[in-house]
Amino acid sequence: MRCPQCNHLETKVIDSRSADEGASIRRRRECLRCEHRFTTYERLGENPIIVIKADGSSEVYERQKLLRGLLIACAKRPISPDQIDELICSIERSLRSSQKTEIRSRDLGEMALARLAKLDHVAYIRFASVYKDFKTADEFSKALKELK
């Protein structure tokens, strides 16, 4: 494993544990050159999920893209990175258990919104405002009423 700090190839594993309800292994590592510590996750190689966008084009699902959107929505909210990670893992488990290889971006967004609504209403509204492309205050108001 290459150290992200100095690019040295030799590291040692300090700690390993199961993560994502057994779907991956979390390892704490330490570089043998610079002693930088970092975390890696090992996941089973799986068939890619294809996201069908609103314009009909498609792209491979990227966990990082969903994570970026959620981090922006959850900024300055009492939501831990572990909670965001679990939210994404929950979506991914649901996608994999359905055994579908394609999902519409709209459906993926709805999955994220359903989970955010249970986690934090402000983060839900932030995510919804971008995802649903609110144009008026009435659209915000309608989304707030749906939360109640």
pLDDT digit string, tens, across residues 107-122: 999 999 999 999 999 9
Identity of the amino acid at 130: V
pLDDT number for residue 76: 95
Predicted pLDDT of residue 83: 95
- pLDDT of residue 20 exceeding 80, the answer is no
Q: How far is CA 48 from the centre of its chain?
A: 15
- Per-residue confidence (pLDDT) for residue 42, from 0 to 100: 87
Distance CA 12, CA 1 (A): 9
pLDDT at 71: 95
Q: Tell me the residue length of the chain.
A: 148
Evaluate if residue 28 carries a pLDDT over 90.
Answer: yes
Chain mean position to CA 80: 13
Model confidence at 62, in pLDDT bands (50, 70, 90)? very high
Cβ atoms of 34 and 54 closer than 8 Å = no
Determine the pLDDT at residue 117.
Answer: 93
At 63-103, the pLDDT tens digits run 999 999 999 999 999 999 999 999 999 999 899 888 888 99
For the chain, helix (H) and strand (E) counts, in that order, are 5, 6
